[in-house]
Amino acid sequence: MGDAKVIPFDDDRDRSRGAAPAGQSRTGQRARRRGARTGQSAPLTTVPGQQGPGEGDGPGKGGAGPSEAAEDRHGAEQRFGDADGAGSRGEGPASGGEDAAAKGALGGLVARLLGDDWEDRAARGLAFLRRRVTGEYEVDDFGYDRELTDQVLMSLLRPVFEKYFRVEVRGIENIPADGAALVVANHSGTLPLDGLMLQVAVHDHHPADRRLRLLGADLVFVLPLVNELARKAGHTLACAEDAQTLLGRGEVVGVMPEGFKGLGKPFADRYKLQRFGRGGFVSTALRTGAPIVPCSIVGAEEIYPMIGNSRTLARLFGFPYFPLTPTFPWLGPLGAVPLPTKWTIQFGEPLPTDDYPPEAADDPMLMFNLTDQVRETIQHTLFKLLVRRRSVFF
């Protein structure tokens, strides 16, 4: 061992003679040279892929070899470099995963709040706004805007229908799947919310996706803003000409013959039908051959219990009546909030009119009999629904 030769070592010779064997590092070779000078044997190196005893337990117990330490230092430098470089800019894999996780969590929160189909509804909403801006929508000669009614007005009325009044609809199949029909209903509630709820009932519950065109009083088409909304929603003036035109087109037309007499009657007379006018709706049905569908609405009478009528204020504002209720006008705007009563809307069996001759529309006795028949059917159904009702609010 004393006359052992020292083998020179440098990078140039290694590159000219070939790379060092796998698993040998510069530190190990230098240790072997020092052992050759001092007469000590150099420490053994481990075979790549194998681990000697005590390795991996730390420096005091054999620890990791120099090459592994160098690799650890290289990995640490690379990690710090990523943190200072691409990772700090959100371009590294970890940052991309965090962004994806954040987007996923945000998407899940939006889906829980708005529903799973919120993206489709948002796209439809943007398309709707674009058509509104560009004017690419249709309005009929009565001012009916079907797209606005379906997507906006019904969306605003539907929560009131389903959550506030919790309307139960019965006999909706009595409205024909196609062709004209005249729906005749009772009228009450101080404000005409029953007409709006009747429109939602036909729109949302009819299996053939029918639409109801309501006939309104003159006052509806005189009030600012109300006039425009009523026209957009498909309402038209309660006259024989408009009703006959709509029925001739095969529409479902709704009429409330009691008018203001039913809408503004005292709370003590609730669910007692008033006079149905002169039977003009029967004449219109006979001329067009449209069936008459009687409809009974329970629950609207109690939303604004009318305990008085200020005739002075009614004349001052030009209204047919000015209601006084337990909450209005004493509580101001808060008193205009309706009570959350439980509603039931029931459609009766249709009364056919196409069996009568054309001249039957001019027979006053026949019109009186048919009008009275429809009125009695609605009144009898109201009494049956009231007997079965458990409570005004439940």
Q: Assign 122 a pLDDT band (cuts: 50, 70, 90).
A: confident
Give residue-wise pLDDT tens across range 273-297: 999 988 899 999 999 999 999 999 9
The pLDDT of residue 81 is above 50 = no
Which of 350, 347, 307 minimizes the C-alpha distance to 186?
347
Share of the chain above pLDDT 90, in %: 62
Task: Tell me the residue type at 280.
Answer: G
pLDDT of residue 125: 84
Interval 15-33 mean pLDDT: 46
The pLDDT of residue 101 is above 80 = no
pLDDT of residue 24: 46
pLDDT of residue 177: 96
- What separation in angstroms does the CA of 116 have from each of 101, 121, 171? 18, 10, 32
Q: Assign 251 a pLDDT band (cuts: 50, 70, 90).
A: very high
Interval 138-154 mean pLDDT: 94
The pLDDT of residue 76 is above 80 = no
Contacts of residue 198, Cβ cutoff 8 Å, sequence gap at least 6? 183, 185, 212, 214, 254, 295, 297, 345
Q: Quote the pTM value.
A: 0.71
Among 17-21, 98-102, 189-193, which stretch is predicted with the lowest mean pLDDT? 17-21
pLDDT of residue 121: 78
Share of the chain above pLDDT 70, in %: 72
- What separation in angstroms does the CA of 331 have from each of 93, 279, 314, 326, 340? 62, 40, 19, 9, 17
Give Rg (Cα) of the chain: 42
CB 276 within 8 A of CB 371: yes
Name the phi and psi angles at 221, rounded to 5. -95, 15
Interval 296-313 mean pLDDT: 96
207 compared with 136, residue with greater pLDDT:
207
